[in-house]
Structure 1
Amino acid sequence: MSHGKIRDDKTCLNCSHIVEERFCPYCGQENTESRQPFYFLFTHFIEDFTHYDGQFWKTLQYLLFKPGKLTKQYLSGKRQVFVAPVKLYIFISFITFLLPGLLPESKKEAPAFKTQTNLNLEKENTKKTLEKMQQTGILSKATSDKIKKKMDSKDYVKITDSTGNAMTNESKIIRETFSDKSRTIMGADSMKEYDSIKKTDKSGTYTVFRPLAEKMFEMKANGLSKKQMVNKYFETLIHTIPKALFIYLPVFAFFLWIFHNKKKWWYFDHGIFTLHYFSFLLLTILILIVVKKIFAWLPDYLLFNFLSGLITLVIIVYMSVYFFIAHYRVYESSKRMSIFKGSVLFIVNCIGLSCMLMILAYISFVMLH
């Protein structure tokens, strides 16, 4: 509670009604002096945070470990001790957006640079390999000479490939010489070639994915490998999840409304269930991201990889089971009917949400700068 000085004037500054006690009975505003000492800004913030903090941790406890109970409590009218569903969803969405970007990336130790002596030795060994490949007919003399010329140029430096492994220029040249097909995008090596394939494509696949291919060719021109492009797409996919969930909220509630008694349950009730369940999904996704970040800092041991995979599997299974438990507790139908309705709803919404997510991720990826 605030410790601000109560005004002598009993007229509420907000609604002009008479205030007999500290709080106005009409609008709820505290009838304290509007001008306060500077330190009041900090004390007021601490008081508000402590009050919200108590609500928040209790709400999180119910949300994570008591499926459906938070929704039941809210719908029964017990709302003062919990964070409101909309506030909860917005807050968790904000944290899911913000926290992963603040967590430091793991800095795997980069391979040591080779000395000039070792580089020269490696260069000589590579030239001998090229000569053997030329003699056996694997390489033509022109290609062999081209690679040797590149090796002798001033651009001969230590670089890193798409997997993070150190390699030299001649290694890159050899890899590119024998991996031209792997560098194509949907069978095309350029947008001109892609468009020519699109003209003969009757399925419409090349037409639908043209913006995506254009973006990938643009990234390829900037030096990104296919693996880096895929990583970028999945990164975009993860950041798109909160947007997809937010847009899908009314759709999810609508499907719940269709499958349940219209007289007993209002659309509002389904909306509360959806807000709580989607808040739970965002929170578990955030936990998965944090777990991934933590294990990325640990040594690449089999035990740590096993633990990371096990934790991820447990969380994903719990995310699925959670819906059925929450659905059964809130809607209080028989177990068989609850499992049947829950299964249909789960499958339908998984398909719908996946489509929404893929569409939004596609648009977000194409619009990347």
Structure 2
Amino acid sequence: MSHGKIREDKTCLNCGHTVEERFCPHCGQENIEPKQPFHYLFTHFIEDFTHYDGQFWKTIKYLLFNPGKLTKEYLAGKRQLYVAPVKLYIFISFITFLVPALIPKAHESEKAEKISHIERTEKIEEQKEATNKILDEFQKKGLFSKETVSNAKKIADSIQIKDSVQEKSVLNDGDVFEKTFSDNTTFMDAHNLKEYDSLYAKDEGFFHTLSRPMAKKVFELKESGFTKAQIKEKYIETILHTIPKALFVYLPIFAFFLWIFHNKKRWWYFDHGIFTLHYFSFLLLSTLIYIVINRIGNLLPDYTIFTLLFSLINVALFFYISLYFFIAHYRTYESKKRVSIVKGSILFIINFIGLLIMLIILMYISLIMLH
């Protein structure tokens, strides 16, 4: 509840009607002094979202742990007790990609080590060439026989190869993307856009039409001096910031499929829209929980117990997210269990494919829009 000072004048500043208590009965505006202390800006902002009476936290609790509850309550007309669906979605979208930015990323030293891997490889090659030159000089001067020089080169090569393998072992399995976007980047066997066009000049198919903008962007980033780590970070950040927009675009499609599979007289398209807003808000909040859990996991020591614990949490979260839709669907639409399971399964598969296609399009656009 707001802590703004109430005006002595009972005339509403907004509509001119008489205000007997705190809020105008005609327009709903709070009859408080228009000028407030500076801190009021911040406290009012927090109150708008959290409503110290518990509205916000009650909404979040039901959203996470009581699938379908918010939708049923809202459609039943109980709308002052909870945050409005659109406002909830926008707010969760905001915090989902604000909070992770506040959590420090781990393994910065490892990233630096991986980035410098190419430089160390180049030094190994330089050392190899220098060693071979010295051995060749010794052979010319008659200090070593040809056979001795050949054996020495083999021994030197084996040592350098071993060194190189050890350097590469620093890269873990999650660095496939970074290897692709290294300083020696190739895209479909091409090292630059000119070479790419030369290799695929005769290919005018649909795949080439889609892949050329990707190749162009990859080589532009390479020529601009971006490191593989920077490109990876920018790419993931772009995808994460675009997910709420993509879900919002897909929202009416999701609601449309719900409308097709349910009684048109009992359930309006509006009702399906409310269900979809709540469900997508849950998906975004789950995404936030997943990111935060894994960021925290990366900050902890690399012990087996921690790895096992966070793996179990991720598996549990995955299954809960998968089951959430079926539970929410059953509770909201109140159909028989078998009917609900069949409809829910069909809808889940259709929308899973739809969201997957949306994600692929999102990844494609995110790559070609990097700058």
With structure 1 as the length reference, what TM-score do the two structures score?
Answer: 0.76
Distance in 2 (CA, whole Å) between partners of 1:230 and 1:337 is 45
Conserved 8 A contact 2:93-2:244: yes
Correspondences of 1:206-355 after superposition (within 5 Å): 206-222=208-224, 233-355=235-357
Amino acid paired to 2:80:
Q
Distance in 2 (CA, whole Å) between partners of 1:53 and 1:242 is 28
State the partner residue of 1:192: 194
| Partner deviation per Cα, 1:243-299 (whole Å, 9 max, x = no partner) | 211111111111111111111001111111001000000000011111111111122
1:93 aligns with 2:108: no
| Partner deviation per Cα, 1:215-268 (whole Å, 9 max, x = no partner) | 112233356677875665444333332121111111111111111111100111
State the partner residue of 1:81: 81
State the partner residue of 1:152: none
| Partner deviation per Cα, 1:48-70 (whole Å, 9 max, x = no partner) | 56625711111111000111111
| Partner deviation per Cα, 1:54-92 (whole Å, 9 max, x = no partner) | 111111110001111111111111121211111111000
Structure 1 residues 46 and 283: alpha-carbon distance in aligned structure 2, compared to 1, 3 A threshold: closer
Distance in 1 (CA, whole Å) between partners of 2:16 and 2:256 is 42
Report how far residue 184 of structure 1 moved. Answer: 2.5
CA-based RMSD: 3.8
Report how far residue 302 of structure 1 moved. Answer: 2.8
Distance in 2 (CA, whole Å) between partners of 1:42 and 1:356 is 37
Distance in 2 (CA, whole Å) between partners of 1:228 and 1:135 is 43
State the partner residue of 2:10: 10
Report how far residue 325 of structure 1 moved. Answer: 0.5
Conserved 8 A contact 2:85-2:277: yes
Conserved 8 A contact 2:234-2:370: no
User: Which residue of the other structure, out of 357, 360, 368, is the alignment partner of 1:358?
Assistant: 360
Counterpart of 1:199 in 2: which secondary structure? Answer: coil
1:29 aligns with 2:29: yes
| Partner deviation per Cα, 1:285-322 (whole Å, 9 max, x = no partner) | 01111111111112223332222222112111111110
Distance in 2 (CA, whole Å) between partners of 1:332 and 1:284 is 25
Distance in 2 (CA, whole Å) between partners of 1:282 and 1:310 is 21
Distance in 1 (CA, whole Å) between partners of 2:185 and 2:148 is 23
Amino acid paired to 1:135:
S
Structure 1 residues 40 and 196: alpha-carbon distance in aligned structure 2, compared to 1, 3 A threshold: closer
Structure 1 residues 231 and 19: alpha-carbon distance in aligned structure 2, compared to 1, 3 A threshold: closer
Distance in 2 (CA, whole Å) between partners of 1:216 and 1:335 is 50
Distance in 2 (CA, whole Å) between partners of 1:80 and 1:253 is 24
Distance in 1 (CA, whole Å) between partners of 2:41 and 2:236 is 43
Amino acid paired to 2:19:
V
Conserved 8 A contact 1:93-1:282: yes
State the partner residue of 1:135: 150
| Partner deviation per Cα, 1:110-160 (whole Å, 9 max, x = no partner) | 57x9xxxxxx99987896689799937x99xxxx9xxx9xxxxxxxxxxxx
Distance in 2 (CA, whole Å) between partners of 1:209 and 1:184 is 13
Structure 1 residues 27 and 193: alpha-carbon distance in aligned structure 2, compared to 1, 3 A threshold: same
Report how far residue 19 of structure 1 moved. Answer: 2.8
Report how far residue 356 of structure 1 moved. Answer: 1.5
Structure 1 residues 224 and 21: alpha-carbon distance in aligned structure 2, compared to 1, 3 A threshold: closer
Conserved 8 A contact 1:4-1:33: yes
Conserved 8 A contact 1:198-1:207: no
Amino acid paired to 2:264:
K
Distance in 1 (CA, whole Å) between partners of 2:22 and 2:241 is 45
Q: 5+ unaligned residues in a row in structure 1: which ranges? A: 114-119, 149-160, 166-175
Q: 5+ unaligned residues in a row in structure 2: which ranges? A: 117-122, 136-146, 161-166, 172-178
Structure 1 residues 327 and 45: alpha-carbon distance in aligned structure 2, compared to 1, 3 A threshold: closer
Distance in 2 (CA, whole Å) between partners of 1:134 and 1:15 is 98
Distance in 2 (CA, whole Å) between partners of 1:231 and 1:309 is 23
With structure 2 as the length reference, what TM-score do the two structures score?
Answer: 0.76
Greater Cα shift, 26-35 or 243-252: 26-35
Conserved 8 A contact 2:50-2:57: no
Structure 1 residues 134 and 185: alpha-carbon distance in aligned structure 2, compared to 1, 3 A threshold: farther
Counterpart of 1:91 in 2: which secondary structure? Answer: helix
Structure 1 residues 50 and 335: alpha-carbon distance in aligned structure 2, compared to 1, 3 A threshold: closer
